[in-house]
Structure 1
Amino acid sequence: MKLRPPTLFIKNYYKRCYSHKFTQLPQERRIRLSGVLMTGAIGVSALSYYYYSILRQQQSQELSPTHFIPYKISHKIDIDPSHFLLELTPLQRQKVNLWSQMGSEHLWSVEVKQPEIMVVRSYTPLPLQVDENQRELKAIPDGSNGDGKFALYVKQYGNGEVARWLHRLPLGHTIDVRGPFVEYELPKYEGEISRNRDFLFNDEISSTEEDKFKYQPFDIAMFTAGTGIVSALQILLTESPLRGKMHLRYSCGSVDELGPLKPFLYQLHRYGRIDLQVLESSKELNVAKRQQKIWDQIPSPTNYLGPSNYLGPNKISIPVLALVCGPERYIADISGPRINLAQGPIGGMLKAKGWTEGNVYKLS
């Protein structure tokens, strides 16, 4: 049943109090009737307050950038001494499907609060949940928000107090989360169809049928290092994923650091969603050689011309945008350093390859 504010009763009360017929009643009767109406008005005012209190309470239980709501640690997967994965479940089942709302056009994060030292840290959620029967990490299906669940891929740094605190917490522990915070928006084509994700749910699919889009998809390049890979995975795995191809370059100590995320990365490569190159420092100790491999794989930029009629999938990736995500030193090498949390001028390898401020963005 839908609650409605009982304001009509109050309006009628005042109307009756000051109507011609009311003032013509005997004084004693007017006093009695006025008292009855006033009592009713007070009751309705209390009901109005109760209604709006319920409404505010319902709104405050949905994930929001303006306030924290409680989530519990429903699963924790230790990958190695430095990396782990958390599944977070809201205590109150969420109604809003953020994966559908955000799609692949928004890169977004949430903030987790460490109450002991009163600091917050941003993490990029992934549309993944642990299958209770198979005990495996699975993508959240289209049309579902998993009741608000999401996964976080976290690395413990020496000075990363929040990450180390998260790792110490037991299963079932409650933490405070707020969001979403949109960091970057990709162009959105109104009326475009969603891209098929069936291969994420059926390992036996050998190939995916070509989607018949309304507009020609655009390709992007992403240069990621460490946990920065989650920004790429978010828009590749979400409901209505990136329609074009992603030119993805991933630098890490070892690809095994991804743990249960590793199969998703290679699935995306197998089904042609990404043009993947993985650079593992454990297999190539020479920094100069690793940088040369990145340099050799950087494409030249292509001008973005806006929506155009669909002509079929691009045979090779033709990126119109480059996104860079990783440690500060990595960002500086690829695209020039960020300055005081601002973008700063474009530099590094991308500038040398002809990329500019107009088609490069450095993610935090």
Structure 2
Amino acid sequence: MGGVLASVAYLFFWPDKPPGAPTKENAPLSSSYFTPAAITSSETTGPDSKLIELTFPSHLLKSNAKDLSGFHPIWSIYVKDDDIQVERAYTPLEGIDHDGHMKFWIKRYPDGEVGRWLHSKNVGDSLKIRGPVTTWNWKENEWDEVVMISGGTGITPFYQLLHHVFTKEPPISSPKTRFTLLHSSRAPNLLPPSTMLETLKTYTHTQQDRFSLRLFVDSRQRETRSNLIGLPLSEGRIGKIEIQQALGLIPTASESWWWPFGSSSSQPDNSERKVLFLVCGPDQMISAIAGPMGRNLSQGDVGGILGELGYNSEQVWKL
């Protein structure tokens, strides 16, 4: 992920080595040095955004058994722009598979050097990567409810987490954590790629007791993609009401006709649940939802809507 995830890894888990870390050929992935990888796919998905696949030599994955157990969500890798010797962190959407493939949704920002550089590259080009670097450490069954709130490419760490949880083999026995994803984009044509949305849509069916999804756009003017995704789209920004609805504290529009006569299971008691909020997106959105980041990109105090609702620093994490 572009500028957002670039700050994420610097934010909480400072790189093990500075941008001048050495490059090692034919070595396993490591956060201590750079290793070569190749661009094996590049697809334009919207204005200034691409799905890019990088492939790392599978025989160099850690251990002869290609053990990927060390890649726990949420993690990212650094990509270095060799032209200006700048590195930025991006989140692999589905982690890394046994063949060394990693997929990224990358936006090109006017002031994002590495993003612009990646968009200029072609299939077959080589680049240098460093990682994995943990950006948030997921622990199974620690939380009853995880509410993820994202904007723009801030969805990528949450997509990685959901992919890990819902495709884990073997699946965790007696899972208890329920996930809600509230995602916002400025316009329909800036929503995540259809392949990502289709996967999330599938989760809403196959994991309907554990996952719910709501998509928001600032404006539906000149809408071009809603028929492609087949998912309901709300106009407006994620606010206090939408967060309360995600927790079942107040009804959605489709539920309001029976509220409060629904079953008790539809009205969870939040005082008895361990609830965690994960927020990732543009700085303005993070500030409005959870309060601004602190000094030197630390977590800072919980503010914004979540602070108003009474949540504390143990219940809110800003990515």
- TM-score, L = length of structure 1: 0.62
List per-residue Cα deviations over 1:136-180 (Å, max 9, x = no partner): xxxx8xxxx332211011111111111111011111000100111
Deviation sequence 1:100-150 (CA, Å, 0-9, x none):
4334xx31111000111111111011227xxxxxxxxxxx8xxxx332211
- Residue of 193, 205, 224 corresponding to 1:270: 205
Structure 2: gaps (5+ residues): 1-22, 223-233, 250-264
Matched, 1:83 2:66: no
Secondary structure of the residue that 2:198 maps to in structure 1? helix
The match for 1:335 is 290
Partner residue of 2:278?
A: 323
Asked whether 1:261 is paired with 2:261, we answer: no
Q: Does 1:125 align with 2:92?
A: yes
Cα separation, 1, equivalents of 2:267 and 2:200 = 18
Match of 2:139 in 1: 187
The structure with the largest alpha-carbon Rg is: 1
User: What is the CA distance between 1:294 and its match in structure 2?
Assistant: 3.2
**Offset at 1:219?**
2.4
**Counterpart for residue 347 of structure 1:** 303
1:101 maps to 70
Q: Is 2:182 the counterpart of 1:245?
A: no
CA distance change for structure 1 residues 351 and 232 in 2, over 3 Å: closer, same or farther? Answer: same
5 Å-filtered alignment, 1:110-259, equals 110-127=77-94, 145-188=97-140, 218-238=144-164, 239-240=167-168, 243=175, 244-254=177-187, 256=189, 257-259=191-193
Residue 283 of structure 1 corresponds to 220
Per residue, is there more helix in 1 or in 2? 1
Aligned pairs for 1:35-54 within 5 A: none
Kindly indicate whether residue 314 of structure 2 is the aligned counterpart of residue 358 of structure 1.
Answer: yes
Sort the Cα spacing of 1:258 and 1:251 in 2 relative to 1 into closer, same or farther, 3 A: same
Higher RCO structure, 1 or 2 (CA under 8 Å, sep 6+): 2
**Would the aligned equivalents of 1:299 and 1:353 in 2 still touch at CA under 8 Å?**
no
Q: Which residue of 2 aligns with 1:194?
A: none
- The one-letter code matched in structure 2 to 1:270 is H
1:213-271 C-alpha deviation (Å, 9 max, x unpaired): xxx97321111111111111101112527842211111113455322211111111222
The offset of 1:346, in angstroms, is 0.4
Q: CA shift at 1:287, angstroms?
A: 9.2
* Alignment-mate amino acid for residue 233 of structure 1: Y
Offset at 1:344? 0.5
- Which residue is equivalent to 2:30? 64
Return closer, same or farther for 1:233/1:290 CA change in 2, 3 Å cut-off: closer
Distance 1:81 1:98 in 2: 37
Residue number in structure 2 paired with 1:37: none
Listed as ranges, the gaps of 5+ residues in structure 1 are: 1-56, 129-139, 190-215, 302-313
Contact (CA 8 Å) 2:291, 2:301: kept in 1 or not? yes
CA distance in 1, matches of 2:160, 2:212: 16
Partner of 1:38: none
Report how far residue 315 of structure 1 moved: 6.9
Counterpart-to-counterpart distance in 2, 1:114 and 1:181: 18
TM-score under structure 2 length normalisation: 0.70
Equivalent pairs counted in the alignment come to 252
Distance verdict in 2 for CA 1:346–1:60, change over 3 Å: farther
